[in-house]
Structure 1
Amino acid sequence: MAPPLAPVAAGAPAHLLPPSWKTQVTAWLAEDTPSFDYAGFVVGDTPRTATLWAKAAGVLAGRPFFDEVFAQCGCAVEWHVEEGADVAGSEGDGKVRAATVTGPARGILLGERVALNTLARCSGIATRSRDLVSKVRAAGYTGALAGTRKTTPGFRLVEKYGMLVGGADAHRMDLSAMVMLKDNHVWSRGSIADAVAAARAVAGFSVKVEVEVQSEAEADEAIAAGADVVMLDNFTGDGVKVAARSLKQRWSGKRQFLLEVSGGLKADNVAPYVCQDVDIISTSSIHQGVPHVDFSLKIEH
């Protein structure tokens, strides 16, 4: 696997998180314990120490969420593995002591399942992201490998965070982040040109406009209308290479735009789409149906 994600400038991945994210953790805890904590009554507030074990190969991601779960349960976390580091070896040849959690027994067990679920999911996405980024880089691709907006409602921040830790581009965060005009938008408006014009009228200079197209002719219409990004959707690998080269040559010196390729791309079929005329390869395979990285939390006794 690739080396851990290096801190960006003076910050770290956790510095990307908005002030509101901690309320999501509160909601997760409220969902898991909506009324009485019967098992917590059994163990009480006796101080305890627990070890977080990484039991499968993967990329560790999601430390801020893990920390906040336990902070809200009155516990503290000491990490022994950096965010973005590989755990358990490339072949999963042994468990790794990833962190130590200290606090009242009840607090540790209150946060255990929520913290583990979040860490396992986030780490799974980071692992798949890094794996696919490594594959396209090995094939000579220098553009962006991005996720999509096909994320889990209520869990998007964690999933997008996992993509970034894994070295992928998170793509747009939500409907407000960029104007994405897909086939339904175009059909509803009547034409690509009209749809782009309407988007430009309200989006202003600071919001990019992307158009999904099904043919080279539609791409030409989108570029002529002023689209910033053109998505070649569900093209074949050979079709992408021909269309991308033709579009870049035809519009050279006339319009500036980015070309994105999307549509069912994953590790076993992405290689034919790799070419330097494509600026972005986007795929939901780095965050949908992704295996979790296995972690456990054990109280010392």
Structure 2
Amino acid sequence: MTIVPLPRLIIEPIVRSALLEDLGLAGDITSAAVIPEDHRSTVALTARQAGVVAGLDAAALAFLLVDPAIVIERHLQDGAAVRPGDVIATVQGPSRGIITGERTALNFLSHLSGIATVTAGIVDAVRGTKAAIACTRKTTPGLRALEKYAVRAGGGANHRFALCDAILIKDNHIAIAGGVAEAIRRARKSTGHMVKIEVEVDTLEQLGEAMATGVDAVLLDNMTPDQLRQAVGIVAGRAMTEASGGITPSTAVAVATSGVDLISIGWITHSAPILDIGLDFVDELPKRSAVESRRAALAT
């Protein structure tokens, strides 16, 4: 599967912020004190457990922003499956920069690979049904673009990226508006023709009201598989059907076989465990020659 990468313009501010948080006001004083300036190393980013890779661009950028002389060779790409012991990438260059960037790079790579891994597990569980697996806006503040990218790397789909993407009328909107039909009417009145409208419903009665008024999608919240099957029959292809609310790996198949188009799951971003990835030293390279040092200085 080909994963369309995020533009560097989106990734770089996030990675810079993470590095600045880690470097503080004085930089990596331990590496500066302990590691000789001209020392060079080769290290491998190695999977400790099985999963799916995501976040290589962010990890690579963490090293490069610390020291542009670092070279990253990727052996796998985002979306690839890994087993324990698989080398994901090799990093070579000045040892100080590698050690300084190590934690930030691994934080991104392990966290995003964890999201891709749990997403891939759910996607695989519902394979053979028409249901797509989607994330929600329940993301880590500041990391939404990366986390939603990781969902795509795991074979999932993205729901709204932000409040401005589409209209999603939820229970509180309905309560304030005075009902499903009135909330939809207000939304339709103020919305351009390119903006889709989805409404969240808790009961089949609310669903009937939504379909009578007309919407592009319905979010079927916390319904049983039997209720979902009835809901799919009521909609009858007139809108996209989305199941949401407390869906787990053990219940996803029953939800998917109800015939819904989409299953949205918040925990694949907000509660996914990391994929354990380590940094292993491969060997030590000869010290940079005086000529190489001079060239590097001129290049910067």
Smaller-chain TM-score bracket? 0.7 to 0.9
**1:1-301 alignment runs, 5 A limit:** 6-7=1-2, 12-14=3-5, 16-17=6-7, 19-36=9-26, 37-42=28-33, 43-46=35-38, 47-74=40-67, 75-88=70-83, 94-137=84-127, 140-248=128-236, 256-275=238-257, 277-299=259-281, 300-301=283-284
8 A contact 1:179–1:210 mirrored in 2: yes
8 A contact 2:167–2:195 mirrored in 1: yes
8 A contact 1:259–1:279 mirrored in 2: yes
8 A contact 2:19–2:101 mirrored in 1: yes
Distance 2:31 2:195 in 1: 49
Distance 1:257 1:233 in 2: 15
Q: In 2 relative to 1, CA 97–141 (structure 1 residues): closer, same or farther, beyond 3 Å?
A: same
| Unaligned 5+ runs, structure 1 | 1-5, 89-93
| Unaligned 5+ runs, structure 2 | 285-300
C-alpha displacement of 1:49: 1.8
More deviation, 146-155/192-201: 192-201
C-alpha displacement of 1:188: 1.4
Distance 2:153 2:268 in 1: 12
The TM-score, its normalising length taken from structure 1, stands at 0.87
C-alpha displacement of 1:53: 1.2
The TM-score, its normalising length taken from structure 2, stands at 0.87
C-alpha displacement of 1:85: 1.2
8 A contact 1:58–1:87 mirrored in 2: yes
8 A contact 2:11–2:146 mirrored in 1: no
1:96-134, CA deviations, whole angstroms, 9 ceiling, x for partnerless residues? 122111222221112100110110011111111111111
Distance 1:22 1:200 in 2: 38
Q: Matched residue of 2:20: which SS? A: helix
Q: Matched residue of 1:212: which SS? A: strand
Distance 1:100 1:271 in 2: 38
Q: Matched residue of 1:145: which SS? A: strand
Runs of 4+ in 1 over 6 A off after TM superposition: none
Structure label with greater radius of gyration: 2
Identity across matched positions, percent: 37
Q: Matched residue of 1:22: which SS? A: helix
Name the Cα RMSD after superposition.
Answer: 1.7
Aligned residues: 278
C-alpha displacement of 1:224: 2.6
Code of the aligned partner of 1:176: C
Q: Matched residue of 2:234: which SS? A: helix
Distance 1:38 1:152 in 2: 29
Q: Matched residue of 1:78: which SS? A: strand
Distance 1:211 1:235 in 2: 15
